Amino acid sequence: MDLITVEVPLGDRTYPVVVGAGASSELAALLPRTAKRAVVVTQDGLPEVDPGVPFEVATIEQGEQHKTLATVEELCRTFARYGLTRNDVVIGVGGGMVTDLAGFAASMWHRGVPVVHVATTLLGMVDAAIGGKTGANIPEGKNLVGAFWQPSGVICDLDHLATLPPREVRCGMGEMAKYHFLTGDDLLAMPLAERVARCVEIKAEVVASDEREGGRRAILNYGHTLAHALEIATDHSLAHGEAVAIGLIYAAQLGRVLGRIDDGRVAEHQAVVRGGYELDTALPQGLDPGELLTLMSRDKKALDGLTFVLDGPNGVEVVAGVPASAVREALAVHAAS
């Protein structure tokens, strides 16, 4: 069993991410030494884990409509009934929804208890489980309520990917495609374990340089401004990674409208997202551009008017004050492409 360990370097809070087939066998070794019990947060049908200490299972409902503060409250009440102390541990087993909610609940219980994540989806492995961003949705937007709470460790067991339905795989591929434009690495040329580990390395380096998204970390949201708006506008019938794939091409189109990149760079985006990862990048039919514009204006990055992460001569960076006219023009271009 060849496992790859990548460290997220955060000083005395540095933690390992273990990648590879069979990586779940390392779970007990990642728990804090003080932990005498655990609560495993998961969903029906997901792999069972053995943390090596007594544990209770808290099962949350499937579906983005359950990624709410009510679910976080119920998790905290489970912690209370089980008698979870500040020295114990929460273990999130699942995809991004599970790790977001488990991490958020852990950040609040007793004002912070350790959390370890076992990512069971490709999206969770390359993005959601790593970096300490947790959150829940409210009707006004996705992940608008949350906390920064770094895990004590993360497991990325590639064996879990074999059981994923095709749509879940596409979701992970959409998020993975993003990393091509942050570094220029040819990730498609790598074996899967190395590709996942490389995505983790890229994210770890960015997180270490800007843990609380005060600046550079926002580049990890490349393609996400429209993606989050699409998820809300479609009542989450469009999954996150699917929306990110569309958002990546839209971000390229917006960069072209603003004169930041040329047609050749837009074509590179299409070659990776459509060609390499075989993802659908068409805008869903029947959406109101005005509604999308309003939703994008509520994005967490929007500190100075409409704000996007865009490619350009200096690479991918945050761009504030984007004119609404350019946003609408790029939507029209994307719809016609």
Residues 11 and 160 in one domain: yes
- The CATH code of the domain that includes 145 is 3.40.50.1970
10-residue stretch averages of pLDDT, the chain, 337 residues long: 93 97 97 96 96 98 95 98 97 97 98 98 95 93 92 97 90 94 91 96 96 90 95 91 97 98 97 96 94 87 80 95 96 92
The residue from 224, 269, 300, 334 that is catalytic is 224
State how many domains the chain has: 2
Is residue 173, in this structure, part of any structural domain at all? no
Looking at the domain assignment, is residue 256 inside a domain?
A: yes
CATH of the domain at 233: 1.20.1090.10
Q: Does one domain contain both 133 and 245?
A: no
pLDDT score recorded for residue 298: 82
**Can you give the pLDDT at residue 301?**
63
Among this protein's residues, is 36 annotated catalytic?
A: no
In this structure, the answer to whether residues 122 and 249 fall within a common structural domain is no
Mark whether 228 is an active-site residue.
yes
Active-site residue 133, yes or no? yes
Query: Quick one: 153 and 226 in the same domain?
Result: no
Q: Which residues of 82-106 are buried (b: 16+ CB within 10 A; e: fewer)?
A: bebeeebbbbbbbbbbbbbbbbbbb
* pLDDT at residue 303 in the model: 61
Verify whether residue 37 is a known catalytic residue. no
Q: Is residue 47 part of a domain?
A: yes
> What per-residue confidence (pLDDT) applies to 30?
97
Instruction: Give domain status of residue 38, yes or no.
Output: yes
169 belongs to a structural domain? no
Model pLDDT, residue 142: 82
Query: Could you list the residue range(s) of the whole structural domain that residue 37 is in?
Result: 4-164
Q: What is the pLDDT of residue 173?
A: 94
Catalytic residue flag (residue 111)? yes
Whether 300 sits among the annotated catalytic residues: the reply is no
Q: Verify whether residue 167 is a known catalytic residue.
A: no
Q: Is residue 193 part of a domain?
A: no
Does the pTM of the predicted model rise above 0.75? yes
pLDDT at 45: 93
The two structure tokens encoding residue 336: 């016609």
